[in-house]
Amino acid sequence: MKGHLEQRDKNTYLIVLEHGKDADGKRTRRKHTFHGTKRQAEEEKVRLLHQMQTGTYIDENKLTVGEYLRQWLEDSKRGNVSPRTFERYESIVTLHLIPALGVHKLKDLRPMHIQTYYTEARVSGRLQRKGSKPDESNDEAQDASKDEAESENRGLSTQTVAHHHRVLFGALKQAVRWRILTFNPADAVDPPRPDKHEMKVLDEEQTRALIEASRDTDLYVPILLAVTTGMRLGELLGLHWRDVDLKRGKLAVTQSLQATKNGLEFRQPKTKKSRRSIPLTSTAAEALRQHKKAQLEHRMANADRYEDNDLVFPREYGKPWNPRTFSSGSFPAI
C-alpha cells in the first residue's frame, strides 16, 4: 500500500492513500484533509497506512460520532481509568450521547447539534423505559439510575447534563489530538451550570449522638472509625488488618473496595494524598482491639465456613461487603 501528500494551502495537506482496486479493476483511493506541518502530515500518512495494513483502518470521512465514541472508550479509556469510572463513561455514551448525536458524521458535528442536545436533555432526556430496574447490587448502576427514571418525559438535572458535557468534551478533545478533527465543537457550547449546594455536615453534638446511638450495634466500630479518621466507606471496607498498627496507634489507607459490573474490586488510591497514614484516637484503637478479638472468636467458631481475607470489616463469614449493601446487612463478627 502506498500514499502521498498534496499540499492545498499553508499547513494544509491532502493525504492520498492507495486502497487497491475495486471489482472493475479500477484503482481506489482514500483521501484525508490534514491541518499541520508537512512532517506531521507525513507521520499521519504513515499511521493511516499502518491501519490499512493491519485491518484497523476507518475512513474518517465516513466516521460517525457513534463509531468514534465507541472507539474512544476502548482506545482511550478502558484500562486507563478505574472500572467504575469506565462504566460511568460507557453508560453516558451508550444511553445518551450515541442516541442523541451518534448518527452525525464526526467531521460534520457542529456546536448547534450539541447545544440542542443539552436543551432537549433538560426537558425529556431520561431514557430508561418504564419497568426497567438497575442492578441494585451495583454501585455504578445506582449512580446511573440518577440519570434515568421510569418516566420517559422527565428531563435530566443540570448537574447530569453538565457531566455529559465533560465526557463529550473530553472525547472530542482527544479527536483533535488524534488529528481527526481540527477543532473541538463542544468548546463553542455553553453547558448548563449546576447549582451549588452547601455541604451539610454534622456538628460536634450530632456526631456524639450518632456514635452513642450506634454503640450497641454492628455499625459502632465502622462509624467510630469513619468519624475519627475521615475514611470513606470504600476505604473502610477495603481496610485489612495488615494495614492497622494497634501498638503504634495508626493505620494506613492503601486501597479502596469498589463495586463494578464485573464484581467487587480492590483499587489503589488515585492520588498520593489518598494513600495516607492516619493516627488513631485512643477510643478508636481500643474499639478496634475489641473488634479484632470478637472477630477472631467468631472466625474460630465458624472455621468450617469462614473465608479469611484479613478484612477489618468483612461480611459474616469473611467475604468483602458490597459498599451499597453494607449498612443494611448483619455481621456478628463486629
Q: Which pTM was predicted?
A: 0.57
Which DSSP helix (H) or strand (E) runs through 171?
helix 158-177
Record the cell numbers describing residue 279, joined without a space.
493516627
Give the domain-ending residue among 188, 212, 228: 188
Alpha carbons 265 and 287: distance in angstroms, whole number: 27
State the cell numbers at 61. Answer: 470521512
Task: Count other C-beta atoms under 10 Å from residue 257's C-beta.
Answer: 22
As averages over each run of 10 residues, the pLDDT of the chain (334 residues) reads 86 84 72 85 86 72 90 89 87 94 94 94 65 38 41 74 95 90 92 76 88 89 93 93 95 89 82 85 95 94 93 92 74 45
**Cell numbers for 195:** 447549582
Residues 33 and 125 in one domain: no
- Please give the Cα distance from 259 to 273 (Å, whole number): 22
- Same domain? For 79 and 162 the reply is yes
Q: Are residues 87 and 184 in the same domain?
A: yes
Tell me, yes or no, whether 322 and 208 share the same domain. Answer: yes
Looking at the structure, do residues 47 and 136 belong to the same domain, yes or no?
A: no
Domain count, the chain: 3
Instruction: Indicate whether 144 belongs to any domain.
Output: yes
According to the model, what pLDDT value does residue 327 have? 66
Q: Which residues contact 221 (CB under 8 A, 6 or more apart)?
A: 287, 288, 291, 313, 334
Q: Which three cell numbers stand for residue 105?
A: 458524521
- pLDDT value at residue 134: 38
* CATH at residue 95: 1.10.150.130
Residue 71's SS3 state is: helix
Residue 199 in grid coordinates: 455541604
* 91 lies in the same domain as 50: no
- At residue 58, the pLDDT reads 67
Domain assignment of residue 287, yes or no: yes
Pairing of strands 27-35, 12-21: antiparallel
| 98 and 148 assigned to the same domain | yes
**Domain limits for position 72:** 65-188
pLDDT at 150: 36
Q: Does residue 94 fall inside a structural domain?
A: yes
Give domain status of residue 196, yes or no.
no
pLDDT of residue 141: 39
| Type and span of the H or E element at 245 | strand 244-245
- Distance of CA 232 to CAs 82, 141, 195, 206, 258, Å? 17, 20, 25, 19, 11
pLDDT given for residue 274 in this prediction:
78
**Is residue 102 in a domain?**
yes
- Same domain? For 247 and 270 the reply is yes
CATH code at position 278: 1.10.443.10
Domain-embedded: residue 197: no
Same domain? For 86 and 184 the reply is yes
Residue type, 37: T
Strands in 276-279's sheet, in edge-to-edge order, are 244-245, 250-253, 276-279
| pLDDT at 145 (0 to 100) | 42
How many Cβ atoms sit within 10 Å of the Cβ of residue 83? 18
